[in-house]
Amino acid sequence: SDLQKQEERGELLQPLIFVLLVLCSVLLYFKVSLMDPGFVKPEEEEGEDKGQDVVIPQIPGDFKLRRCGYCLVKQPMRAKHCQLCQHCVRRYDHHCPWLENCVGERNHPLFIVYLSVQLVVLLWGGYVAWSGLYFEQSREWLQHNIFLLVSFVLIFIFTIVVLLLLVSHLYLISCNTTTWEFMSHHRISYLRHSELENPFDQGIILNLWRFFC
């Protein structure tokens, strides 16, 4: 049959890979959006210092971790209360409105994987949409290709957004900082009291290793 001939020629491999990538992207979306991003629980307060990325000797000795004014738990360093999630989140990065969940200590690496897979899907989809277009200056051409044209424009916009988001996150990860720390450096007490601008930075290689491994 025609289907068997296409399979023998390898013409079904690329659509299959594309569908698998889309499925992987959807599964990652639900995984990152539904999982615990690193909520601070009251019973974990006694072990609050065990999960810190690095000891910071540059912070004065009289510096004390404070209790959250909302949920009243003792906040570990780099944690922040999210008013949308109603929890303090360890190594808080940001609250993602697309995921309806915080990006924090536990789901941040998966969030980066999700962005990477999503970028591949968008680039592939953009290539398919562009390859289906053939340009002619006529009204009939616009009527027959309006769907592909709109699809390509939307894919292009989403690709730029995802690409910028992924690049910015990879840059911050390489510096061992978070979006919240980068944007609110002057408001965060443990950074204001530090002798270094970024006391968590241990070099690009070690920062990436600690984050992903």
Alpha-carbon span 169 to 157, nearest angstrom? 19
Q: Is position 213 annotated as part of the catalytic site?
A: no
pLDDT at residue number 55:
45
Q: Which residue has the higher pLDDT, 114 or 1?
A: 114
Q: H/E/C letters for each residue in 137-187?
A: CCHHHHHHHHHHHHHHHHHHHHHHHHHHHHHHHHHHHHCCCCHHHHHCHHH
More confident residue, 167 or 14: 167
Residue 79 in any domain: the answer is: no
Whether residue 205 lies inside any domain: the answer is yes
Q: Given this model, what pLDDT does residue 138 score? A: 63
Are the CB atoms for 79 and 88 separated by under 8 Å? yes
Give the CA angle between residues 4, 9, 15 to the nearest 5°.
85
pTM: 0.83
pLDDT in tens, 120-137: 999 999 988 887 776 666
| Within-domain flag for 82 | no
Residue 25: both structure tokens together: 């992207």
- Given a cut of 70, whether residue 9 has pLDDT beyond it is no
Residue 206 belongs to some domain of the structure: yes
Q: Looking at per-residue confidence, does 143 or 56 come out higher?
A: 143
Q: What is the pLDDT of residue 151?
A: 87
Instruction: Report whether 198 contacts 175 (CB < 8 A).
Output: yes
Domain-located, residue 52: no
pLDDT tens readout for residues 143-185: 777 788 888 899 999 999 999 999 999 999 999 999 999 999 8
Which residue range is the domain that position 8 belongs to? 2-36+106-212
| Residue 78 placed within a domain | no
Number of domains in the chain: 1
87: helix, strand or coil: strand
Choose between 166 and 55: higher pLDDT.
166
**Catalytic one of 68, 71, 85, 96:** 96
Res 122: pLDDT:
96
Q: Please say whether the beta carbons of 133 and 145 come within 8 A.
A: yes
In a domain, 51, yes or no: no
| Residue written as token pair 């690496």 | 109
